[in-house]
Amino acid sequence: MTLKIMLDAGHGPNTPGKRSPDGSLREFHFNSRVADVMRAELEKYEGVTVYFAHEQLRDVPLKERTDRANKLGVDVYVSLHANAGGGTGIETFVHPKSSAKSREVAKAIQAALIKATGMVDRGVKTADFHVLRETDMPAVLIEHGFMDNAADLPKLKDDAFRVLCAKTNVKALTQVYGLKRKGAELVENNDVAGHWAEQSIKKAIANGVMSGYPDGTFGVNNPMTRAQFVAVLDKLGLLDRGTK
Ligand SMILES: [Zn+2]
């Protein structure tokens, strides 16, 4: 299957107001980092094309964002934000007249984020936001915590939290849309079938820890370089401890 996804990092780097009260965080910096990690993660899946609604140097007007999504005919629109206005936790919005698919995506992302982050569950809500109303496809808007909350702000500024949110959003999307990891099909008709490590190899490929070769083999007896070894450690999440 193919899936065109538009990621919309809300606002721009210099949008007035959209920052923490102490000025230490600009909302766009959080939103765009989550978008960058989500794109990198999504591109590990077959048939996925990722578009950005935002740009790094200007605040793209909302109409321009949704016009482009409609023109490209993307399959799903995901708007990324950090909240403000008094409160704590995570909430995901759909339009009051949203499609069932929008609500399915929103519920999956909201539940996954709460499970992964342990933050307060503010639930799936409805709002007449431009990006939800003017998009012709399923659309959700995620508020990943409050910039004006003392507990949420340090998280929003923490790169590990941004990466966690991004990976969690992607995991939920891959489940809703049944996306397959690239290379996941390589385990058929190759040197893995019947091998003593077959099950482990299949798990490694399915989880994106290692991949096979384009010819369909895994290379069960090939040596591993030091560079490949640290890449595997990184994919297992073992290198992010204490490096914030
Ligand atoms: Zn925002």
Q: How far is the CA of 13 from the centre of ligand 1 (A)?
A: 12
- In this prediction the pTM is 0.78
Cα–Cα distance, 137 to 123 (Å, whole number): 22
Q: How far is the CA of 141 from the centre of ligand 1 (A)?
A: 9
Contact 49, 174 (CB under 8 A): no
Q: How far is the CA of 100 from the centre of ligand 1 (A)?
A: 24
Q: How far is the CA of 82 from the centre of ligand 1 (A)?
A: 5
Q: How far is the CA of 18 from the centre of ligand 1 (A)?
A: 7
Please report, in tens digits, the pLDDT of each residue of the chain (244 residues total): 799 999 999 999 999 999 999 999 999 999 999 999 999 999 989 999 999 999 999 999 999 999 999 999 999 999 999 999 999 999 999 999 999 999 999 999 999 999 999 999 999 999 999 999 999 999 999 999 999 999 999 999 999 999 999 999 999 999 999 998 886 555 555 788 888 998 898 888 888 888 887 777 888 989 999 999 999 998 888 887 665 4
Cα–Cα distance, 50 to 163 (Å, whole number): 17
Q: How far is the CA of 230 from the centre of ligand 1 (A)?
A: 36
Cα–Cα distance, 14 to 5 (Å, whole number): 25
Q: How far is the CA of 81 from the centre of ligand 1 (A)?
A: 4
The two structure tokens encoding residue 107: 């519920």
Burial bucket for residue 172 (CB in 10 Å: 0-12, 13-18, 19+)? buried
Helix (H) or strand (E) holding 64: helix 62-72
